[in-house]
Amino acid sequence: MEIYLDNAATTALDPEVIEAILPFLTTHYANPSSSHRAGRRAKEAVDQARRTVAHLLGAAPEEIYFTAGATEGINLALSGAIQAYDLSHVITSRIEHKAVLQTLKRHEKEGDIETSFVKLDERGNVDLYHLENLLRANPRTLIALMHGNNEIGNLTDIHAIGVLARRYNAVFFTDTTQTMGKAHFDLREADIDFLVGSAHKFHGPKGVGFVYINQKHRLKPLIYGGGQERGQRGGTENVVGIVGLAKALEVAYRNLEASRSKVSKLKQYLVSKLAISGIEGICYNGESKSAENSVANVLSASFPCLSTGSLVARLDQVGIQVSGGSACQGGGASHVIQALACEADKENVRFSFSKFNTFEELDLVVDAITRIYESDPVVSTRAGWKRIASWA
């Protein structure tokens, strides 16, 4: 049995994506910078992919730049903006992806910027009043706040943040890695300067992503070379990946409502099944349990510590793939969990779903978790744990 519930980490290729990229793996393999017919064909594929992504997001094609993934896009947007506009102050949060936090940490260490951390409530939501106070005190600031959190799923009101950014003449970057292909964007109407996406998060290939750079900006490139991506990112274009990214995003938005409805139901189904599993002390982190305030496919739960090892590892042994972190054996919770008002000495497990998962799989997952806790002599005794008859 193999059950994959780690779709916030990466997703399976959609069959339509495989079909779309096959010709570029076999026959249309020319370099898009070449002037011959085969090269022109490859270049047109890249240009068409750019038009597709722009159309889906309500952007102009010249605002879409292809990268090797979200991490590169984050570095390009943040470092590029800091250097191009001599920005000396950045507002971010303590639960951003490490690609954001480490990039800012480097600039702070080099003396380029000072970083302020916006307050979060106990569930990890941004305090917009504190954000406005920070903006009022620090004009001409770069805001770096994610749309959907990769660990706890919290959704941030990027529309409200964009309005504040314009009011105080700030530059606004938002990490949309976890929400791209899962939420609607209309960048013609949004007050967003930069955002990023990564194909492998929405059933596209790994190693390819994009950064949206509003046309009023021109950033310093991170990678110099042959002038590709209109001088913004040197290096031969990953035609296979770019074609796959555009097709994956097209499929995601074509099926957006159906996919979002399904994964939301999967999440609520798992919550309901765990509630009657007989395992005491399960709690949910951030807004991940919410149907309205979190990314639809992410559920972050904290479980009582086992005496027989990590729950994530025990599930892996029976073919169930999830992710997480534990303070149980001294490993320490992630920086995101540590920033929240979560109970200590619990193991955090992130379940993340895709359109390919089934309710039957979740029945098997809950049964496996229940059996693991039933077999743990310390937990079952300490919690007064008793297996419910329906699982016997």
Residue 390 pLDDT > 50? no
Q: Which of 122-126, 206-210, 381-385 has the lowest mean pLDDT?
A: 381-385
Give the model's confidence band at 249: pLDDT under 50 very low, under 70 low, under 90 confident, else very high. very high
Question: Which whole number is the average pLDDT over 277-300?
Answer: 94
Question: Which whole number is the average pLDDT over 201-216?
Answer: 98
Active site residue ranges: 328
Contact present, 245 and 208 (Cβ < 8 Å): yes
pLDDT of residue 387: 47
Centre a 10 Å sphere on the Cβ of residue 262 and count the other Cβ atoms it contains: 20
Q: In what order do the strands lie in the sheet with 298-304?
A: 283-284, 298-304, 346-352, 323-326
* pLDDT higher at 139 or 174: 174
Q: Return the CA Rg of the chain.
A: 22
pLDDT of residue 226: 85
Tokens of 248: 């994956």
Q: Which of 9-23, 307-321, 346-360 has the lowest mean pLDDT?
A: 307-321
> Cα-flanking dihedrals φ and ψ of residue 323, to 5°?
-130, 170
pLDDT of residue 229: 86
pLDDT of residue 139: 78
Tell me the per-residue pLDDT of 343-361, one tens digit each, with 9 for 90 and over: 667 899 999 999 999 999 9
Q: Virtual CA dihedral for 48, 49, 53, 56, nearest 10 degrees?
A: 60
Centre a 10 Å sphere on the Cβ of residue 168 and count the other Cβ atoms it contains: 18
Tell me the per-residue pLDDT of 145-183, one tens digit each, with 9 for 90 and over: 999 999 999 999 999 999 999 999 999 999 999 999 999
> Cα-flanking dihedrals φ and ψ of residue 155, to 5°?
-95, 135
Contact present, 58 and 198 (Cβ < 8 Å): no
pLDDT of residue 261: 97
Tell me the per-residue pLDDT of 100-138, one tens digit each, with 9 for 90 and over: 999 999 999 999 999 999 999 999 999 999 999 999 999
Question: Which whole number is the average pLDDT over 288-296?
Answer: 93
CA–CA separation, 119 and 243 (whole Å)? 40
Residue 62 pLDDT > 70? yes
Go through the domains of the chain in sequence order and give each one's CATH number: 15-252 (3.40.640.10), 256-390 (3.90.1150.10)
Question: Which whole number is the average pLDDT over 222-239?
Answer: 88
pTM for the complete prediction? 0.92
Residue 326 pLDDT > 60? no
Residue 337 pLDDT > 70? yes
pLDDT of residue 150: 96
In the chain, the percentage of residues whose pLDDT exceeds 90 is 82
